Copies of this chain bind each other. A is one copy, B any other.
Amino acid sequence: MNTQKEITIYDIAEALDLSPATVSRGLKDHPAIKKDTRKKILDKAKELGYQQNLFASNLRRSRSNTIGVIVPRLNSYFMSAVISGMEKVANAAGYNLIISQSTESKEKELANIKTLYNSRVDGLLVSLAYDSEDINHFDLFLNKGIPLIFFDRVFEHPRCTSIVIDNYKAGYEITSHLISQGCKRIAHITGSVIRNVYADRLKGYRHALVDNSIPYDESFVFPCNLSEQAGADVTQRLLEMPELPDGVFAANDTTAVSCIRTLKQAGIKIPEQIAVAGFNNDPLSKVIEPNLTTMNYPGQEMGELAAATLIRKLDNKEGTSLNTIVLHHNMIVRESSLRKKINL
């Protein structure tokens, strides 16, 4: 085969005995084309060397200068900080953001993907919903070579870059800190363990216990939706345990603050009777009394880096080998867990 000859849709059509119109539609993911046929067309296109970046460059010619963002919910300080970082970098580069919420549902995430695709976004920045166990629903973007960056709640994929913190290490550190303060019966409030962020913090918690000769007990782990109400409900269950825990590590500050308020109402002394630590360094953590020990999560930087990485991909300045970017986190020890004098 003459490698100089540019492969066209006519070559694919001939090879598959399909009409060029069908091939064209298949490559464009037109709804009239069956999934099987589309797969056949894409496979043949690949086999013949129909250039992925041919369609990519077609798209690029009609660049909309718009970046799509899909987040679980817009209701946290962390997510505001992420989006503020994205907005800053995108604006400086002449891009506009459009944002949609999956409200933690894979089905809604798919609807958002279609809407943003129809809005002809140049690329996507995504933090996954609770129940997205795979990313097949992103094929609309992946098959066209439109760049896709995951942040915070990520999924490993050879063609996507992920931007995260080391949640395992962070969970390990905060649990070790509680142990260093004399805690031996530490409860953990967590989210959906399908998602990397919560699964990794839980693993860090478990390993810190085991490494300090404290047995891991599943009845001390409380999965919930991490809302204010959920924090109060879980704390009520802690208060009803035959022997009170002496430490709580919550996977976000919302539930940690709610936990402290519920414990205070029950007359429990913090940190003397129960030491409490959260995660995210929300503004709330400095307002609650006692002030909350927490993990500083660099939301603004995560957003800036996600947008910058996407724009570099759009400008062909980034190779395809970039897989994962890990940002620094740092523990902030405050009164809610401080039972002994330690060097901060």
Known: A74-B74, A289-B289. A101 touches B111 (CB 8 A): no
**Minimum CB–CB distance for A292 against chain B, Å:** 10
**Minimum CB–CB distance for A121 against chain B, Å:** 9
User: In the bound complex, what is the Cα–Cα distance between A100 and B99 (angstroms)?
Assistant: 6
Could you give, for residues 234-274 of chain A, a 1 whenever the CB lies within 8 Å of some chain B CB and a 0 otherwise?
A: 00000000000000000000000100010000000000000
Identify A96's interface contact among B84, B115, B120, CB under 8 A.
Answer: B115
Closest residue of chain B to A81 (Cβ to Cβ) is B75
Do A91 and B108 touch (CB < 8 A)? yes
Closest residue of chain B to A283 (Cβ to Cβ) is B228
Do A111 and B96 touch (CB < 8 A)? yes
Known: A98-B98, A99-B100, A115-B66. A283 touches B283 (CB 8 A): no
Tell me the count of chain A residues lying within 8 A, CB to CB, of chain B. Answer: 37
Do A118 and B288 touch (CB < 8 A)? no
Residues of A49-73 whose CB lies within 8 A of B: 64, 66, 73
Q: Note all chain B residues with C-beta closer than 8 A to A108.
A: 91
Do A101 and B112 touch (CB < 8 A)? no
Do B96 and A98 touch (CB < 8 A)? no
User: In the bound complex, what is the Cα–Cα distance between A254 and B83 (angstroms)?
Assistant: 19
Closest residue of chain B to A285 (Cβ to Cβ) is B287
Q: Is A119 an interface position by the 8 A CB rule?
A: yes
Residues of A96-119 whose CB lies within 8 A of B: 96-101, 103, 108, 111-112, 115-116, 118-119
Q: Note all chain B residues with C-beta closer than 8 A to A84.
A: 73, 75
Q: Note all chain B residues with C-beta closer than 8 A to A98.
A: 98-100, 115-116, 119
Do A74 and B66 touch (CB < 8 A)? no
Do A100 and B101 touch (CB < 8 A)? no
Can you name 14 A-B pairs with beta carbons within 8 Å? A66-B119, A73-B80, A74-B79, A75-B84, A87-B103, A96-B115, A98-B98, A98-B100, A98-B116, A98-B119, A283-B284, A284-B284, A287-B287, A289-B289
Since A74-B74, A75-B81, A98-B116 are in contact, a sample of 16 more A-B pairs with Cβ atoms closer than 8 Å, ordered by chain A residue number, is: A66-B115, A66-B118, A74-B83, A83-B101, A96-B112, A96-B115, A97-B101, A98-B115, A99-B100, A99-B101, A118-B120, A119-B119, A119-B120, A228-B283, A261-B287, A287-B287
